[in-house]
Amino acid sequence: MKDSWEERKKALENEYFHKKERELIEKMKHETEERLVREYCKGRCPKCGDQIEPMTFREVPLDCCPGCGGIWLGPKDLKVLAEKDHRTWFDLWFRQGEESVAQGEN
């Protein structure tokens, strides 16, 4: 009877470590994939994959894609732009969207 309990105990221990190793391998695969994607996509447009070109708008560095025309901002760039002169360009930017929606309804 003692041998059966020892075998069961070893089997549960092996199962536990097998599960932990699988989790670690999956985590490593995911991290490797993310790293490869970041390395491949560095300097490329997230939308179309073309090479992006740096530009400056109101002293804020932006990235512009010549392929799709996308403008890519850094994490705090939109906030900086909004604080600069929000009553002119920022309101106009959103009003253009409202005007085009209003024109489409007519």
- For the stretch 38-91, pLDDT in tens is 677 778 887 888 888 988 887 888 888 898 888 888 778 877 877 776 566 666
Q: What is the pTM of this model?
A: 0.41
Q: What is the 3-state secondary structure (H, E, C) of the chain?
A: CHHHHHHHHHHHHHHHHHHHHHHHHHHHHHHHHHHHHHHHHCCECCCCCCECEEEEECCEEEEECCCCCCEECCCCHHHHHHHHHHHHHHHHHHHHHHHHHHHHHC
48 is a domain residue: no
9 is a domain residue: yes
Domain that holds residue 12: 1-42
Strands 60-64 and 71-72: antiparallel
16 is a domain residue: yes
4 with 34, same domain: the answer is: yes
47 is a domain residue: no
- Better-predicted residue by pLDDT, 79 or 20: 20
* Residue 30 pLDDT class (50, 70, 90 cuts): confident
- Furthest-apart CA atoms within the chain: distance in Å: 85
Count of structural domains within the chain: 2
14 is a domain residue: yes
How much is the pLDDT for 23? 94
How much is the pLDDT for 15? 94
